[in-house]
Each structure stands twice: as structure tokens, then as C-alpha cells.
């Protein structure tokens, strides 16, 4: 579930080692995501309000998908409005923690050369926990709607 969106040609300038390139891409991508929400949360919300909301789950079965509201919740978390973030999507807290957690994890992997495998295992299990949090939150929402 790691996020890495920087092009390979750019990362190659920073390191020749392919394992370090992966860690660098994940590290820099997560830092950029966090900084975007911290410094540009109003712009993100403005853009979100301009674009029409479309959720395939909602259209087909009448229930929002597990990730509906996470972007808006991130904007609220970055402003310190945790109650609003909770109302948008409770799972956003675990996803936000996962993004923040990737920073020291990838720094550790970059500093300690033989830790890449351990880092990926930790990240994999953390990603699984985040995914389970999202699914459990989704089932709770479905239950609340039906009762």
C-alpha cells in the first residue's frame, strides 16, 4: 500500500541502488503528500468542491465506498479539526498515521543498508492493519445506515 509517484528518472539522480530508489520514492512521495495537505489544504478543498463527487459503490449499491471522505478528512486533520475528520471517515486517522509512519521507516531503511527487507515487512503489515481499519469502518457505516 505504499505510495510512490515520482518518476524513476528523477529518483535515479538521487541513488543508483534500486532498493534505495524505492525507499527514496516512498519517502519523498509521503513527505510531499503530507506537505500538500498541511500547506495547501484550502486549495485541495476548493478543487474538491469544484469537481463533482462520484462513487461507484454509492451509485451501484447505495453505500459509500471504504475510502469515501478520506481526502476531506485529511484536510480536516491538517487543520486540527479531528471531529470533522472523524465524521468524514474514521479510517482516515489510520491512513494518515501510515503516511507519517513511512517517513521514519524509510529513513531507517536508507540509513541501515541491510534493513530493506524488514522495512518492507513492517510496511506490509501496517498496510494490512490500515486496510482492515477501512473495511471495519465501512461495515460499521453500512450497519448504521441499515439500523
The residue whose grid cell reads 535515479 is 12
Q: What is the mean pLDDT of the chain?
A: 87
Cell, residue 64? 459509500
On whether the pTM is more than 0.85, the answer is no
* Angle, CA of 95, 44 and 37, to the nearest 5°: 45
Q: What is the mean pLDDT of residues 35-53?
A: 81
Instruction: Report yes or no: 74 and 99 within 8 Å, Cβ to Cβ.
Output: no
Q: Is pLDDT at 146 greater than 80 in this prediction?
A: no
**Please, which pLDDT band fits residue 97 given cuts at 50, 70 and 90?**
very high
Q: What is the mean pLDDT of residues 52-76?
A: 83
Amino acid at each position: 500500500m505504499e505510495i510512490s509517484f515520482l518518476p524513476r528518472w528523477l529518483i535515479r539522480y538521487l541513488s543508483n541502488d534500486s532498493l534505495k530508489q524505492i525507499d527514496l520514492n516512498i519517502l519523498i512521495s509521503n513527505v510531499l503528500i503530507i506537505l500538500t495537505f498541511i500547506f495547501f489544504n484550502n486549495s485541495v478543498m476548493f478543487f474538491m468542491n469544484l469537481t463533482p463527487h462520484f462513487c461507484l459503490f454509492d451509485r451501484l449499491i447505495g453505500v459509500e465506498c471504504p475510502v469515501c471522505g478520506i481526502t476531506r478528512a485529511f484536510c480536516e486533520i491538517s487543520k486540527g479539526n479531528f471531529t470533522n475528520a472523524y465524521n468524514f471517515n474514521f479510517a482516515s486517522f489510520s491512513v494518515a498515521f501510515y503516511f507519517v509512519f513511512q517517513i521514519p521507516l524509510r529513513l531507517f531503511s536508507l540509513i541501515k543498508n541491510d534493513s530493506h527487507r524488514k522495512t518492507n515487512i513492517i510496511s506490509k503489515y501496517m498496510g494490512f492493519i490500515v486496510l482492515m481499519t477501512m473495511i471495519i469502518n465501512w461495515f460499521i457505516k453500512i450497519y448504521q445506515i441499515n439500523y
